[in-house]
């Protein structure tokens, strides 16, 4: 999903992030592609019934705006608001971003 990164399944709030995205399984989805990652996967923005699911995941406090790969102002504003409201994953002020979580996990191996 373009511009966002959600917690890994074994990370705090990973199960909630998975449950959020699972609400959109088996729905008609429009994908606006924005590229391909190093694994050959399409990177894009998902829309269901006109709703931007990438943005919703940040607004619902289940994902970070992935600023390393995105300068999307809507995603940035959504994360700032979510942090201020301290809901979802932002209840934990020391929440670890997924990219940092993955890096630490790789270092342990």
Instruction: Tell me if residue 97 falls in helix, strand or coil.
Output: coil
CA 39: distance to chain centroid? Answer: 18
Q: Which residues, in sequence order, are bridge partners of residue 43? A: 35
pLDDT in tens, the chain (109 residues): 999 999 999 999 999 999 999 999 999 999 999 999 999 999 999 999 999 999 999 999 999 999 999 999 999 999 999 999 998 999 998 899 999 999 988 887 6
- The answer, as to whether pTM is greater than 0.85, is yes
pLDDT at residue number 108? 74
CB 82 within 8 Å of CB 58: yes
pLDDT at residue number 90? 93
Please report, for the chain, the start and end positions of each structural domain, with discontinuous segments joined by +. 4-108
pLDDT at residue number 109? 66
Query: Looking at the domain that runs over 4-108, which CATH code has it been given?
Result: 2.40.50.90
């Amino acid at each position: 999903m373009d511009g966002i990164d959600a917690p890994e399944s074994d990370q705090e709030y990973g199960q909630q992030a998975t449950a959020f995205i699972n609400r959109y399984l088996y729905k008609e989805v429009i994908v606006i592609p924005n590229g391909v990652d190093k694994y050959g996967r399409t990177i894009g923005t998902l829309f269901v019934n006109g709703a931007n699911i990438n943005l919703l995941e940040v607004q619902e406090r289940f994902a970070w705006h992935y600023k390393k790969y995105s300068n999307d102002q809507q995603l940035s504003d959504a994360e700032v608001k979510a942090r201020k409201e301290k809901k979802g994953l932002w209840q934990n002020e020391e929440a670890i971003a997924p990219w940092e979580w993955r890096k630490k996990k790789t270092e342990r191996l």
